[in-house]
Amino acid sequence: MPRPITATVHLDSMRHNLARARACVPAARVWAVVKANAYGHGLERGLRGFAEADGLALIETEGALRLRELGWTKPILLLEGIFEAADVAMLATHHINSTVHTVEQIAMLEQAGLAGPIDVHLKMNTGMNRLGFTPDAFPHAYARLRAIAAVREITLMTHFANADELEHPRLSIHEQVARFCQGARGLPGLRSLSNSGGVLHQQELQAALSNDWVRPGIMLYGGSPGGKSAQAFGLRPTMTLASEIIGIQDIVAGDTVGYGSRFVADRPMRVGVVACGYADGYPRHADQGTPVLVDGVRTELVGRVSMDMLTVDLTAIAHARVGSPVVLWGAGLPVDEVASAAGTIGYELMCAVAPRVRMLEADLTTNAGQHG
């Protein structure tokens, strides 16, 4: 029998979360973001879970080609665009949209001599200061793209730094929208502004935002971009990382647990050993008190996370035994709560699940479950 740790992907929850995104911005088309192997869920599962999306967006050029091989015929968007001139032909051949955020990328398109049309997304830097043209440089970049015969549709886009906090003191979403409107004034084309935070706060931002396309990411996977919990936003977890108790130790006050002996018992305790460690993607830096579910009962991590195991307090769970089910995050235990206790974010936990963890599928809408 294989080691008892699994990551179950809930396709029905992926569909639910996509529908939730649509409900927030019913007039917009939706790019479902599937970068980083669909946030650790698997690109093929992302395609199936988000089959009703208007397009799929990702970073990896090889992933875009894989989506075409899997049969995806709707639009695909490369969120960082192309990285070298040899990639330009791929855009036309496989009908892939490319983000353009540097003069070097514009030059690649100018020099390519493409016969077939391509669609691009011109990115504006409105304060995130990662990728994109400043508002002042944006019109010139647009004019250069418009002069390329092969460029068909130009969508105008930006990315919000603090969409989870509408009145951020250093850079509010309203300030970024104002900068976008300044740089895009008079330029024709569809607009693409909102990530998950912008989508979920669309009601509050209705007067400011005009989205023709939205680009939800973390919300599609049941994580919150901030501000409120995923559950409060009406989202469902799409991944459950689960294992079992594989050993139990009864210890007394003064005994220590784990590497470094940094956890010292202050009373008699039952300690359960779980088949999950940092080599499975669980964060090594998760500290004492990080929540865990054992047989549906909430308890907490004790001691340091090892490569293949972690230890939990079973003292108050009298019925716990070897073989008792454990949920590390997912159904019944929000990934964001675990991530917060471990000093990180839910994105990192889901993306970090290791290849040695068996991936399963569950789909309540079809009553199907299988290995994947």
- The tens digit of pLDDT for each residue in 239-293 reads 999 999 999 999 999 999 999 999 999 999 999 999 999 999 999 999 999 999 9
pLDDT grade for 167, boundaries at 50, 70 and 90: confident
Number of Cβ within 10 Å of residue 279's Cβ equals 15
Check if 11-221 and 239-371 are the same fold.
no
- 58-106 pLDDT tens trace: 999 999 999 999 999 999 999 999 999 999 999 999 999 999 999 999 9
The yes-or-no answer on residue 259 being catalytic is yes
Pair 32, 51: CB distance under 8 Å = no
Pairwise CA distance, residues 237 & 363, whole Å? 13
Given this model, what pLDDT does residue 203 score?
72
Overall average pLDDT of the 340-359 stretch: 96
For position 368, what pLDDT does the model report?
A: 54
Q: Is 158 helix (H, G, I), strand (E, B) or coil?
A: coil
b/e code 259-274 from CB counts within 10 Å (16+ = b): eeeebebeeebbbbbb
Quote the longest CA-to-CA distance of the chain. 77
Catalytic residue among 35, 123, 142, 347: 35
CA–CA separation, 65 vs 43, rounded Å? 11
Q: Is 301 in contact with 271 (CB distance < 8 Å)? A: no
- Model pTM score: 0.94
Structural contact between residues 322 and 247, judged by C-beta atoms closer than 8 angstroms: yes
Burial of 285 (0-12, 13-18, 19+ CB in 10 A): exposed
> In the structure, what pLDDT confidence band is assigned to residue 169 with cuts at 50, 70 and 90?
confident
Superfamily of chain region 11-221 = Alanine racemase (3.20.20.10)
Any idea which residue has 């669309």 for tokens? 202
Better-scored residue on pLDDT, 166 or 232:
232
Cα–Cα distances in angstroms (integers) from residue 198 to residues 44, 87, 167, in the given order: 27, 31, 13
Lookup result for tokens 């009373």: 267
CA atoms of 46 and 39, how far apart (whole Å): 9
DSSP 3-state percent helix, strand, coil across the chain (nearest 5): 30, 25, 45
pLDDT for 207 equals 53
Burial of 309 (0-12, 13-18, 19+ CB in 10 A): buried
Beta bridge partners of 300: 291
Q: Which fold has domain 239-371?
A: Lyase, Ornithine Decarboxylase; Chain A, domain 1 (2.40.37)
- pLDDT grade for 206, boundaries at 50, 70 and 90: low
3 state DSSP class of 38: helix
The structural domains of the chain, with segments of one domain joined by +, span 11-221, 239-371
Catalytic member of 39, 221, 259, 278: 259
Q: Give the whole-angstrom CA distance, residue 120 versus residue 96.
A: 9
